[in-house]
């Protein structure tokens, strides 16, 4: 990195510090790389890259606007939330939202930056994306500044779950700084980001306690003769306890008529919380009421909060229990109000019922009540 560009980078960071506690905290938490590997600028979550020739034509104020733009992509978690959406249209939707915010705050944006008065206050990345898809807008990819970059190259320090965790920590730290500066609540942090943090980072149930307790009961019974127990002489073989890793978790979501949209969103938020905390190898989400409507296979690229569900009928648990019996899993976690059949066939896998009503406990497995977090066996 040349001395001039290094000085310009430092000055841009300082300018951000004078204008926004939230976005400057994100900028200071990122790794900034000047490289020919990008045409203009891009971001993968914790690393922002800038093209040196492109930067030479930018003033410090313009560079600060560009840096803020890339950091807002991180704040909105645009890469993590993209899911199966069209990557170009999703990138453009995020750019429209961010550039509107920046110009409204008095920042300069690159001349090639997307800006449309139509997508002003009241729009979100999701709603802009849906509108662009509806209009079937055709973008010239040769002139677009596509700056959402997938991780995985040699210079990327993190990828997958570790990257998601790192980004989450950056966002939480930035919001804390905004709170300390007295700027939170003044419009500096968009409602879309506030809702995202509340939904994805603050699940209501204490999953580390509940899930560890739930699975620990099975761990204590799982011994192996495959390794020596070091507490005994070298020629003595005693069973050793294996550590318990999370392999395949199956979730069932009751989408019957008694479950409204708010409850559905809460259920998805809790599942997202489990994914972030425990990072299971495989996850399955079953959409069900009196029957199974869909079976979603979940990986780290899936936007859980955007999954579509059907239902609206009555409730029957046995179809799900039978399905899981035929598709082995480490545990079934069932979100429901438990207003279904009272007699259930026994199963040979663990079942944890997450109940949001005062219904009596299920006849098999364990029941956890959302309101007071107590467990009934």
Judgement on whether residues 256 and 371 belong to the same structural domain of the protein: yes
Using CA atoms, how far apart are residues 313 and 306, in angstroms rounded to an integer? Answer: 22
The Cα angle at residue 357 between residues 355 and 363, in degrees rounded to 5: 55
Summarised one tens digit per residue, pLDDT across range 91-117 is 999 999 999 999 998 998 877 788 899
Residue 84 pLDDT class (50, 70, 90 cuts): confident
Mean pLDDT value across the chain: 80
Q: Which two tokens stand for residue 41?
A: 């600028």
Judgement on whether residues 65 and 190 belong to the same structural domain of the protein: yes
Instruction: Report how many domains make up the chain.
Output: 2
Answer yes or no: are the C-beta atoms of 60 and 95 closer than 8 Å: no
Residue 372 pLDDT class (50, 70, 90 cuts): very low
Which range, 119-123, 185-189, 207-211, 216-220, is most confident? 119-123
- In order of 71, 107, 167, 172, 191, the CA distances from 75 in angstroms are 6, 17, 8, 10, 12
**Residues 222, 283, 77, 121, CA torsion sign:** negative
Using CA atoms, how far apart are residues 178 and 170, in angstroms rounded to an integer? Answer: 12
Higher pLDDT, 48 or 245: 48
pLDDT at residue 217, rounded to an integer: 54
Does position 236 have pLDDT exceeding 50, yes or no?
A: no
Q: Which two tokens stand for residue 343?
A: 């007699």
Higher pLDDT, 288 or 178: 288
Using CA atoms, how far apart are residues 144 and 99, in angstroms rounded to an integer? Answer: 14
Does position 155 have pLDDT exceeding 50, yes or no?
A: no
Identify the domain containing residue 128 by its residue range. 3-200
Does position 242 have pLDDT exceeding 80, yes or no?
A: no
Judgement on whether residues 173 and 262 belong to the same structural domain of the protein: no
- List the one residue out of 287, 292, 230, 233 whose CA is nearest residue 264: 287
Residue 163 pLDDT class (50, 70, 90 cuts): low
Residue 67 pLDDT class (50, 70, 90 cuts): very high
Share of the chain above pLDDT 90, in %: 37
Q: Which two tokens stand for residue 113?
A: 């930056």
Read off the pTM. Answer: 0.55
Using CA atoms, how far apart are residues 3 and 13, in angstroms rounded to an integer? Answer: 16
- List the one residue out of 293, 272, 295, 268 whose CA is nearest residue 284: 295
Judgement on whether residues 78 and 194 belong to the same structural domain of the protein: yes
- In order of 63, 122, 243, 354, the CA distances from 194 in angstroms are 26, 14, 37, 26
Judgement on whether residues 147 and 278 belong to the same structural domain of the protein: no
Ramachandran category for residue 45: left, alpha or beta (phi over 0 → left; psi -120 to 50 → alpha): left
pLDDT at residue 207, rounded to an integer: 60
Judgement on whether residues 172 and 237 belong to the same structural domain of the protein: no
- List the one residue out of 58, 137, 61, 53 whose CA is nearest residue 96: 137
Judgement on whether residues 160 and 241 belong to the same structural domain of the protein: no
The Cα angle at residue 206 between residues 329 and 270, in degrees rounded to 5: 55
Higher pLDDT, 215 or 280: 280
- Classify residue 306 by its DSSP letter: G
Could you say which of 200, 225, 249 is where a domain stops?
A: 200
pLDDT at residue 228, rounded to an integer: 45
Judgement on whether residues 183 and 219 belong to the same structural domain of the protein: no
Could you say which of 179, 200, 221 is where a domain stops?
A: 200
Judgement on whether residues 192 and 240 belong to the same structural domain of the protein: no
Q: What are phi and psi of 249, to 5 degrees?
A: -110, 135
Does position 230 have pLDDT exceeding 60, yes or no?
A: no
Contacts for 138-144: CB closer than 8 Å, 24+ residues apart = 139/88, 139/89, 139/92, 141/88, 143/112, 144/88, 144/91, 144/92, 144/112, 144/114
- The CATH number of the domain holding residue 342 is 3.40.50
9-13, 29-33, 165-169: range with lowest mean pLDDT: 165-169
Judgement on whether residues 212 and 175 belong to the same structural domain of the protein: no
240-241 and 248-254 beta bridge pairing: unpaired
Does position 332 have pLDDT exceeding 60, yes or no?
A: yes
For residue 287, what are the contacts with CB-CB under 8 A and spacing of at least 6? Answer: 253, 255, 293, 294, 295, 296, 309, 310, 311
Could you say which of 172, 200, 228 is where a domain stops?
A: 200
pLDDT at residue 209, rounded to an integer: 67
Does position 333 have pLDDT exceeding 60, yes or no?
A: yes
Does position 223 have pLDDT exceeding 50, yes or no?
A: no
Which residue stretches of 182-225 are H helix? 191-201, 207-219
Q: Can you tell me the mean pLDDT for 149-160?
A: 45
Judgement on whether residues 189 and 286 belong to the same structural domain of the protein: no
Answer yes or no: are the C-beta atoms of 148 and 87 closer than 8 Å: yes
Judgement on whether residues 232 and 158 belong to the same structural domain of the protein: no
């Amino acid at each position: 990195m040349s001395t001039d560009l290094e000085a310009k980078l430092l000055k841009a960071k300082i300018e951000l510090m004078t204008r926004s506690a939230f976005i400057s905290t994100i900028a200071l938490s990122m790794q900034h790389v000047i490289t020919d590997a990008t045409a203009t600028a891009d971001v993968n979550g914790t690393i922002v890259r800038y093209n040196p020739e492109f930067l030479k034509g930018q003033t410090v104020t313009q560079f600060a606007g560009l840096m803020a733009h890339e950091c807002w992509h991180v704040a909105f978690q645009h890469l993590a939330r993209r899911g199966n959406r069209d990557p170009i249209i999703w990138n453009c939707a995020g750019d429209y939202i961010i550039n509107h915010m920046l110009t409204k705050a008095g920042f300069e944006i690159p001349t090639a930056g997307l800006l449309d008065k139509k997508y002003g206050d009241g729009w979100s990345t999701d709603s802009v994306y849906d509108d662009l898809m509806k209009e079937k807008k055709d973008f010239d990819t040769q002139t677009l500044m596509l700056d959402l970059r997938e991780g995985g190259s040699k210079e990327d320090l993190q990828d997958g779950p570790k990257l998601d965790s790192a980004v989450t920590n950056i966002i939480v730290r930035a919001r804390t700084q905004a709170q300390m500066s007295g700027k939170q609540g003044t419009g500096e942090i968009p409602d879309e980001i506030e809702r995202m943090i509340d939904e994805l980072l603050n699940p209501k149930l204490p999953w580390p306690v509940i899930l560890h307790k739930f699975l620990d009961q099975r761990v204590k019974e799982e011994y192996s003769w495959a390794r020596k127990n070091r507490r005994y002489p070298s020629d003595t073989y005693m069973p050793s306890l294996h550590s318990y890793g999370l392999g395949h978790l199956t979730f069932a979501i009751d989408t019957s008529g008694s479950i409204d949209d708010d409850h559905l969103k809460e259920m998805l938020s809790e599942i997202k919380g489990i994914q972030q905390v425990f990072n299971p190898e495989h996850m399955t989400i079953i959409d069900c009421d009196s029957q199974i409507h869909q079976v979603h296979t979940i990986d780290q690229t899936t936007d859980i909060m955007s999954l579509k569900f059907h239902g609206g009928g009555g409730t029957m648990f046995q179809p799900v229990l039978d399905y899981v019996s035929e598709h082995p899993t480490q545990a079934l976690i069932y979100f429901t109000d438990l207003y279904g059949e009272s007699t259930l066939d026994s199963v040979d896998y663990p079942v944890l019922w997450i109940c949001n009503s005062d219904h009596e406990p299920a006849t098999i497995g364990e029941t956890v009540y959302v309101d007071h977090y107590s467990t009934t066996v």
